[in-house]
Structures are given as C-alpha cells and as structure tokens.
Amino acid sequence: MAQRNLPFDTADLTARDRAHIIHPWIDLGTAKTQELLIAAQSEGAYFYDTDGRKMLDGMGGMWCVNIGHGREEMAEAIADQVRRMAYFSPFGMLSTPPAIEFAERVTAYAPGDLKHIFFTTGGSTAVDSALRFIQYYFNFTGRPTKKHIITRDYAYHGSTYLTASVSGKPGDRGFLDFETERVHHLPVPNTYRRPDGMSEAEFCDKCVGDLETKIIELGPENVACFIAEPLLASGGVIVPPQGYQRRTLEVCRKYDVLYISDEVVTGFGRLGEIFASEKVYGLQPDIITCAKGLTSGYIPLGAFLLSAKLYDRVTGEGAAGKFFSNGFTYSAHPVACAAGNKNLDIIEREDLCGHVRRIGPYFQQRFRELLDLPIVGDVRGSHLMLCVEFVQDKKTREPMPAEWNFAKRINAECMARGLLARPMGHLVVLSPPLILGKPQIDEAYVALRAASEAVLDGLLREGLWRGRAA
Ligand SMILES: Cc1ncc(COP(=O)(O)O)c(C=O)c1O
C-alpha cells in the first residue's frame, strides 16, 4: 500500500477524539474503544490517513465529493469569496451575487417549471424545508386536511425530527421517537427481494399499487405528498423496478398528491445528469431536494427546487402579509454558493456527467463479476452508485447474521487493501468521486474481491459459514 510521511501522532489524536467528539451513527457501546480512521490529506479519488496510508475513497466522502478531492480552483474560489464577503444574511429581501448566479445556474438544469430554489444548509434541512413548504401550501390554499406524508421502508431523508420520521431504515429506529400519525411507510420496492416467481413487471404493478391503495385508504383529501429517492441510496442502493418512478408520479397526479424527488445523492452527476428525475426516470416532480454534490462537499449547502405552479400560487392572490417562516442563518451562504458555482464550472468543463454515463456501465459490470463468489447475492446500482449484498445462502437470499460482524470484517479487509468502502450490515456500498477512471475501478474491484475472499476464508475457518453451493 502506498505510504506518505505525515507529521501526526494517530494514537494521541484518537485519544483526544474519543475524549470529546460524539460521532454520528457510532455504536455507542464501542464509542470509547473503537479504532478510528483519521484522514489528514486528500487529492483526486484518494486520501491519506494520519499514518500516511493512501486509500481510494470508495464512498466519495459521504456520496458527495463528486468532483474529487483537492481542487485548487475550488480553494481559490472559496478564498476569493471569503475575502470579498464571507457572510451576509439571506433573510427577507437580502441577497448576494454568488447566490443569485448559483440559483440561476442550478434551476436552468431543473426539469419542467422547477425554476425556484430555497437554499438550506444540507440535505436534511432541504427535505425538512420542502415538507414544511408543502404544509404551508395546503394551509394557505385552504386544504388543511392534506397533511399525511407517504414514504417507503428503507428510505433515508435526513436526521431532523421530521426527515428522520419519513426515513425508514429499520436499524435506525431503536431508541428514538418519530412522528407516526401523519407519516406512512410503503414496503420497499426492492426487486432483489421480490416474492419468488414474480416478474419485475408484476412487482412494479404491486409497488405502484401499494401507493395507490395507501392514498385511497387515507383519503386523497388527507394526503399531502409522496417523497421518494429515485434510487434508495442509504437503504442499500435499491433500484426500483423499471417504470416505477414515472408510474408513481402518475398515481400522485391522479389524486392531487404532490411529489418530492429527493436527489440529495442522485443529483449533480452521480447518475450522469445534474438531475436524474426527468432525464433518467422520466419524472417531473413538484419539488426536487439536493445537497452533497451541489458543492461536492467542499462547503455545506442544500436546497429544494420548487415548481413555478406552486410558487406562483403562494406568492399570488391572498399572499400579502403571509410568511413561510422557515430558514437558516446559513441559507444561501455566499461562500457555499461561490463553491457551488465553481463546482458547476468543473462539472461542465470536464463533462463529468458525460464521463459518468460512459464509465458507469464498466463500473457496474466490473463489480458484477463478484457474483461468482458464493456469499455475494446481488450486485446492483446505476452509474456510479453500487451496492454488493452479501448473503449466507444465495437460494434463500438470507442475509449474513448480525453476530458474524460482517461489516466490521469486510471494512478491515478493504482498508488493509487501500479501499475505503461503506459497509452497512451485510451490504457494501460504493459511490466514488465521479472522476474515477478504469484503472481506479479495477483497483477498487480487486481490493473488494480480495477482501470478500479473505472474509469468506475467515467465516469458513471459524465454522460459521458452511459453504453452501452457489
Ligand atoms: C437521499 C438523502 N436525503 C437526505 C439526506 C440528508 O442529507 P444531510 O446528511 O446533508 O443532512 C441524505 C444523506 O445521506 C440522503 O442520502
């Protein structure tokens, strides 16, 4: 593994981190003892930890470093804006040139009449604000019963009270409370786990039917919106059956239910388009939420895009003196917007969307080679989003049991081979920077294959996995 001499004392940093930082999603039972990976430097698709070990950033940060690490021109654009004006309030009728330019450029890519944008601080605040806007909209238009939100199991939409409530990963529901009266979860449209003997087309009918049945059960006059990621990212890169996105929109239109397409992960090139909703899935929603790739993670920023139809309604007749009382000190932060403008310059100049469309099939096809391993049940994804699902029995699709510590094992083996992937239980997710070339894809594949084989050997040695036939 490549190495660089760096002036850090990892043991000391680890002790100081453990003494103070409460990390998101950490296993609190091991928070005070677990080893840390402390990253110190990065460039392109790679980063270096404090011991100087070079690793391929298979997660692209957290699905966000789309243009890759260490872009000098991003550093300059950010520094220039800090010198010019580091902060200005976004509230009321106050604005800044970088925010105006960015709003214009982002909405130019949006489908249909999504020409208005509300800036936030990240993905959770984007989704939360979108849901609150819908609440405002139906109160304002005199339909205050339309409050119920339909979402899906295994969705992830954020970490505020409301966005966590519309998320649906079972593992995240242990010791927190959620809004349950007005939030309804549909079964996940996971083609890999569809009932035996059911075709993908039949499964699509069933999933679309789930939505229609739920709207009818609640009463369309009570349903505000359906919220959906085009592909369920954190739930395990779940690719719904073909046609699902467009058909669920048709159901929403039929019952006057609004549609939020959550593109926090899928936007800004990950699926080969700035927005995937329409170009990839033929879906023109009422609202698109985005964050992450919006600035490639260089500075936090989120947003929701809103249709002119909805915006004109709340700014038209009867609007005087009414406020959408929702916003953040750092909404439309000028430095974040300057980073966003430079991020778009890079994506456009280097045709990163085109690159993803060209390289995506190779990425998917290369990792599908893992399917010959007896513990790999599914390899799925699209473009530069991918999930490998490990199972103990390919026939029954039974996942690896939690007590086998699969995530921990595969993580250690991947890192020893210079790859940072994202193990989640029995799944391993990859969403690398969009600049990845074939050599790096091969490198990541070789590392994950060897890591999987090493874990398999360990499970066999310990008598846990009994070697069922592929
Ligand atoms: C689809 C989706 N929506 C919303 C969020 C929340 O974004 P953030 O972590 O920036 O608040 C995420 C985060 O992973 C996400 O994947």
Residue 225's SS3 state is strand
pLDDT in tens, 295-317: 999 999 999 999 999 999 999 99
pTM: 0.97
Backbone region of residue 178 per phi and psi (left: phi > 0; alpha: psi in -120 to 50; beta: other values): beta
pLDDT in tens, 407-454: 899 999 999 999 999 999 999 999 999 999 999 999 999 999 999 999
pLDDT of residue 466: 75
Distances (CA, A) of 384 to 11, 260, 265, 267, 271: 35, 23, 11, 12, 7
pLDDT of residue 101: 98
Task: Report the candidate in 228, 143, 135, 229 with the shortest Cα–Cα distance to residue 182.
Answer: 135
pLDDT of 1 > 80? The answer is no
pLDDT in tens, 10-45: 999 999 999 999 999 999 999 999 899 999 999 999
* Ligand 1: centre distance to CA 373 (Å): 32
- If one residue of 65, 119, 127 were mutated to test the ligand 1 pocket, choosing by the most ligand atoms within 8 A of its CB, it would be 127
> pLDDT-based confidence at 69, cuts 50/70/90?
very high
- If one residue of 128, 157, 270, 299 were mutated to test the ligand 1 pocket, choosing by the most ligand atoms within 8 A of its CB, it would be 157
pLDDT of residue 469: 45
Does the beta carbon of 264 lie inside 6 Å of ligand 1?
yes
Max CA distance (Å), the chain: 72
Distance of alpha carbon 467 from the chain centroid: 34
> pLDDT-based confidence at 3, cuts 50/70/90?
confident
The atom number, within ligand 1, closest to the CA of 229 reads: 1
pLDDT of 72 > 80? The answer is yes
- If one residue of 25, 66, 121, 124 were mutated to test the ligand 1 pocket, choosing by the most ligand atoms within 8 A of its CB, it would be 124
Domains in the chain (CATH in brackets) are 10-67+352-461 (3.90.1150.10), 73-349 (3.40.640.10)
The atom number, within ligand 1, closest to the CA of 302 reads: 10
Contact 349, 435 (CB under 8 A): no
Distances (CA, A) of 439 to 63, 384, 432: 20, 15, 13
Is the C-alpha dihedral spanning 238, 239, 244, 246 positive or negative? positive
* Ligand 1: centre distance to CA 465 (Å): 35
Assigned token pair, 455: 């874990």
* Ligand 1: centre distance to CA 291 (Å): 7
Does the beta carbon of 168 lie inside 6 Å of ligand 1?
no
Give the 3-state DSSP-derived string for 302-353, with helices as H, strands as E and coil as C. Answer: EEEEECHHHHHHHHCCCCCCCCCCCCCCCCCCHHHHHHHHHHHHHHHHCCHH
The atom number, within ligand 1, closest to the CA of 232 reads: 1
Task: Report the candidate in 292, 295, 381 with the shortest Cα–Cα distance to residue 333.
Answer: 295
pLDDT of 470 > 90? The answer is no
Residue 188: DSSP 8-state: P
* Ligand 1: centre distance to CA 111 (Å): 21
The atom number, within ligand 1, closest to the CA of 124 reads: 11
Q: Residue 223 belongs to what H/E stretch?
A: strand 223-228
> pLDDT-based confidence at 468, cuts 50/70/90?
low
pLDDT in tens, 113-153: 999 999 999 999 999 999 999 999 999 999 999 999 999 99
The region of weakest confidence among 247-261, 365-379, 453-467 is 453-467
> pLDDT-based confidence at 2, cuts 50/70/90?
confident
Is the C-alpha dihedral spanning 19, 22, 28, 33 positive or negative? negative
Does the beta carbon of 293 lie inside 6 Å of ligand 1?
no
